[in-house]
Structure 1
Amino acid sequence: MQTAAQLWSCLFLYYSVCCCSGITEESNALNFVQRKALPRFAPLSTLSTAQSSRSKPWLMHKYIAVAHHKSGVYVMGQLWELIFFALGATTSDMGMWIQPCYPHTCYSPEAPIQIWVDMYSYDKAQEERVAAGANGMRVVGIVRDPVSMIVSAYCYHHRGKELDSILFFPAALLVVLGPKEGLKLVAEGMLPAVENMTSAFEQPSHDTFRLEYEKLTRSSDGFDQQMGEMMNFLFQDLITPAERSQVLNATKWADLHRHPPTDDHQNNQECEDEVRKYVPSLPADILSRYRSFQERLGYAAT
């Protein structure tokens, strides 16, 4: 049997290797489109000269995609790139910021098209509205049931994923913790992120679209409905019908039902079903916070 010292030595080594690699799942997600999806849909040259000469929407508004850990960062990153690359944006038009700023994950903070991870809240939204000025901003935030987020996070990190995360230090400990202890560690570590998500999206706003993770991933019909509503919000009459059609066609590559993932980013459903059984055993003060988050966002207690 391993001694406590041996166990911590192994965990430290595991953590150090992951941390020093400088690569996270979040950063990998934002390169997914260039690697896999973009070559598969119609090239931008198919747009007419008239369409190409129109003023680009991101010259009119600032566009910000928002995600929080396990709310759907991977799919939000795919969608944002698919949408704007289909409209002719280049990598120089896009920036990313994540809190904390892991190596190689933060760049181009002044770009008009942004992806923000684990940093958006009600207060941040107010700051950005002021900064956007008369042109205004268009924010799309992916929102998920807070309890599902912590259940997913435990299963994900328990598999050895993203062990450089400082949300739960040392994250490598989650590899060896069982579901009861591990879920408690995750729930504590994710409280600030989930509070930020809740505060930002519990009330509707004219410049913000709440993308529902559950509707997005439940079926292709739900995915298409969410995409149609999001396109109306983002662009209104700033793009042509042909451009809208091309964008909607491009986004289908992010539909998990049309194109099931070939990597191991998704959790095993059996793990999530098992871990969910331990939610009622969370300390009362922590559980009450998550029940409050669910209520504020319109989710039933699960």
Structure 2
Amino acid sequence: ASSGIASPAEPKLWEDHRYLAATYHKSGSWLLYKLTHQIFESLGAADKDFGFVSLNSSQNLDAPILYMEGVYSAKVAELERRASGAKGIRAAGCVRDPLAMIASAYCYHHRGEELSNPEMDPEDKVPSMGPNEGTAYMALQMLSSIQNMVEAFKSPQPEDTHLVRFETISRSSKDFDHEVEKLLDFWLPGLAPEHRELARAAASLADLNRYPTEDVAHTNSPDCEALALAAAERMPGALLSQYRSFQRRLGYR
């Protein structure tokens, strides 16, 4: 249900464009999902205004605000641009260093989270794999999803596309606030000051530095991630070369 303040007489700002929020496995999915809902619900958006699509499920695809997990690509962006017509799209994506995503995914699935995940580890192999084998396996499993991320958000981005770096927005509350200001400038540049303040306050609830979640399922051990990242740096040559290319195109190298 909506927790917003907009009355029916006020303009539904979320209908000005087709608003897209794109994430990828271990790129900051929960963060951008919550941020999107907090911002638009604070302005009066209701459940019917939000849609969701991933590789194996979808709901309310015609909603003005669509959250996309793992599927937003350059091709999807073009389809969305055409479908949105004169309104145009405003696509914000949470991206992360591809090698860090591999390391995070290995530790997450190695702990037994999301068993039988149909895209990432359908046969539950990762819990019994060591870091070297496991990171290379995850790199292959996540290849198409990360390729989608790179193609959609490589530098330079078009004007209807905005990149949120997970490393920056999660680093500190000051960085979080700065990234939220940039996101509001991109999504809702004409927002009245009082509405912007509401959106800003609502968005702050997604800041894990201010409000650490009690759900530790998505939080990996730093020791595991350090080991896994070192292992990812030792992946077979062709695979590592592919990921180095991904890093360069996203501005991580």
Query: Per the shorter chain, which TM-score range?
Result: over 0.9
Q: Which moved more, 1:79-88 or 1:160-169?
A: 160-169
| Inter-CA distance 191–44: structure 2 relative to 1 (3 Å threshold) | closer
Contact 2:4 / 2:45 at 8 angstroms: preserved in 1? no
Output aligned runs, 1:77-116, within 5 Å.
77-101=33-57, 106-116=58-68
Contact 1:168 / 1:185 at 8 angstroms: preserved in 2? no
Contact 2:20 / 2:89 at 8 angstroms: preserved in 1? yes
Distance in 2 (alpha carbons) for counterparts of 1:164 and 1:254: 28
Pair 1:44 & 2:16 matched: no
Equivalent of residue 204 in structure 1, options 148, 157, 176: 157
Output aligned runs, 1:209-288, within 5 Å.
209-237=162-190, 239-264=191-216, 265-288=218-241
Task: Tell me the CA shift for residue 165 of structure 1.
Answer: 1.7
| Inter-CA distance 229–168: structure 2 relative to 1 (3 Å threshold) | closer
Task: Tell me the CA shift for residue 268 of structure 1.
Answer: 1.0
Identity of aligned residues (%): 37
Deviations 1:36-94 (A, max 9, x none): xx8xxxx535x6x6xx6221122221111000111111111111111111111110111
Residue of structure 1 in register with 2:249 after alignment:
296
Output aligned runs, 1:47-66, within 5 Å.
53-66=9-22
Q: List gaps (5 residues or longer) in structure 1.
A: 1-33
Output aligned runs, 1:83-162, within 5 Å.
83-101=39-57, 106-162=58-114
Q: Which moved more, 1:167-176 or 1:220-229?
A: 167-176
Contact 1:157 / 1:171 at 8 angstroms: preserved in 2? no
Distance in 2 (alpha carbons) for counterparts of 1:168 and 1:60: 36
Distance in 2 (alpha carbons) for counterparts of 1:219 and 1:182: 30
Task: Tell me the CA shift for residue 261 of structure 1.
Answer: 1.5
Task: Tell me the CA shift for residue 127 of structure 1.
Answer: 1.1
Equivalent of residue 136 in structure 2, options 181, 184, 190: 184
Contact 1:66 / 1:115 at 8 angstroms: preserved in 2? yes
Pair 1:70 & 2:23 matched: no
Instruction: Say which SS state the counterpart of residue 124 (structure 2) adopts.
Output: helix
Say which one has the larger Rg: 1
Decide which structure has greater helix share: 1
Instruction: Say which SS state the counterpart of residue 125 (structure 1) adopts.
Output: helix
Distance in 1 (alpha carbons) for counterparts of 2:94 and 2:199: 19
- CA-atom RMSD in angstroms: 1.5
Task: Tell me the CA shift for residue 277 of structure 1.
Answer: 1.6
TM-score normalised to the size of structure 2? Answer: 0.95
Distance in 2 (alpha carbons) for counterparts of 1:258 and 1:65: 22
Contact 2:147 / 2:246 at 8 angstroms: preserved in 1? yes
Aligned residues: 251
Residue of structure 2 in register with 1:11 after alignment:
none
Distance in 2 (alpha carbons) for counterparts of 1:136 and 1:143: 22
TM-score normalised to the size of structure 1? Answer: 0.80
Task: Tell me the CA shift for residue 169 of structure 1.
Answer: 4.0
Contact 1:184 / 1:282 at 8 angstroms: preserved in 2? yes
Post-superposition, which runs of at least 4 consecutive aligned residues in structure 1 deviate over 2 A? 166-171
Instruction: Say which SS state the counterpart of residue 172 (structure 1) adopts.
Output: coil
Distance in 2 (alpha carbons) for counterparts of 1:94 and 1:174: 34
